[in-house]
Amino acid sequence: MRIALITPYGREHRNGNWHTAARWAHFLREAGHTVRVQVEWDGRAADLMLALHARRSFASIRAFAERFPSRPLLLALTGTDLYRDIREDSDARQALELAHRLIVLQDRGIDELASHLAAKARVIYQSSPDIDRQPSPAHTFEVLVIGHLRAEKDPFRVALATAYLPEHSRIRVTHLGSALSKEMADTAALAQSKLPRWHWLGEVPHKTVLKRLSRAQLMVIPSVMEGGANVICEALAAEVPVLASHMPGNVGMLGEDYPGYFPVGDARRLARLMAMAETDPDFYADLLGHARARRSLMRPEQEASRLRQAVAEFEQRTG
């Protein structure tokens, strides 16, 4: 099939949407499909459209639906779609109605949809290939935060948590991700000057992210809003336990019984969990055991199979 794959962010943004689009394009090309990845649909004929992000891709979704009303349109929902836009934005809501199939990236996503929309939704977990472990630093306990500095990510929560760590703690936090505004950059610079355990490196190449992850001992994802963070897949692929804010997008990835949750915005509780991960081998082993159990859902072969199945369902209908 000729597939138009729409992502609102191009390669230059290096964010989760782009990485998902690139990975899905690869999986679909391997299955024999012709895939064009575009930020906005150029109007060229396609047998199927696969769009990421209801609100930001709405212009392409509407144009395709108007020109080819009988051709399948698949829509993958992001965190801002599920947990904000479909409540507030008419374009996002209309995109849900136009789509023939909705894709959510973790099993709690369907809970956010009205029953008639949930009936056409499927779960496709994101994935990462195995990441070989590298030796961790001997004299520090390396904690990694991965994500651009924007409000949905609650980017300074981990920095604030370091102020509550015991004085003797060996924890060192490295944050990777670009500041998306001057205000965020200024706040990061101030935090770095006041909180010596927290280090912001800005945007780095993805291969550097994976290298850092391969020797980290812990990852923290403090987000207020997530649709299904691919950095969780990468952490599990590197056998790095995760501490995560207790919100639906993270619970849908890690499972309800995961022991590493803290309340959204609770820096003190996060600090306690970080200290436990550093000093309590049983707690660390419990985190790692749960992470390994969830890893099976997030392998590339699983993601590829589910995606190809979603497309094949409509290929049979149009063939």
- Per-domain residue ranges for the chain? 2-126+299-318, 141-298
Q: What is the pLDDT along the chain (319 residues), one digit of tens a residue?
A: 999 999 986 555 556 678 899 999 999 999 999 999 999 999 999 999 999 999 999 999 999 999 999 999 999 998 889 988 999 999 999 999 999 999 999 999 999 999 999 999 999 999 999 999 999 988 999 999 999 999 999 999 999 999 999 999 999 999 999 998 999 999 999 999 999 999 999 999 999 999 999 999 999 999 998 888 999 999 999 999 999 999 999 999 999 999 999 999 999 999 999 999 999 999 999 999 999 999 999 999 999 999 999 999 998 665 4
Phi and psi at residue 142, to the nearest 5°: -85, 120
Query: How many CB atoms within 10 Å of residue 233?
Result: 24
d(CA 255, CA 64): 36
Q: CA-CA-CA-CA torsion for 239, 241, 247, 249, nearest 10 degrees?
A: -10
Judge whether 118 and 110 are in contact, CB under 8 Å: yes
Separation between Cα atoms, residue 115 and residue 74, nearest integer Å: 18
The amino acid present at 227, given as its one-letter code, is G
Residue 227 is predicted with a pLDDT of 87
Residue 261: strand pairing partners? 244
The span from the CA of 7 to the CA of 53, in Å, is 7
Report the 3 state secondary structure along 182-206: HHHHHHHHHHHHHCCCEEEEECCCH
Look up residue 80 and give its DSSP letter. Answer: H
Q: What is the reported pLDDT for 19?
A: 85
Give start and end residues of each alpha helix (H) in 99-180. 115-118, 157-162
pLDDT of the residue at 80: 85
According to CATH, the superfamily of the domain at 141-298 is Glycogen Phosphorylase B; (3.40.50.2000)
| pLDDT tens by residue, 118-165 | 999 999 999 999 999 999 988 999 999 999 999 999 999 999 999 999
The CATH code of the domain at 2-126+299-318 is 3.40.50.2000
Give the ranges where 197-280 is alpha helix by DSSP (H). Answer: 206-215, 230-237, 248-254, 267-279
**CA–CA separation, 17 and 34 (whole Å):** 20
Bridge partner list, 174:
144, 199
Whether 141-298 and 2-126+299-318 are alike in CATH topology: the answer is yes
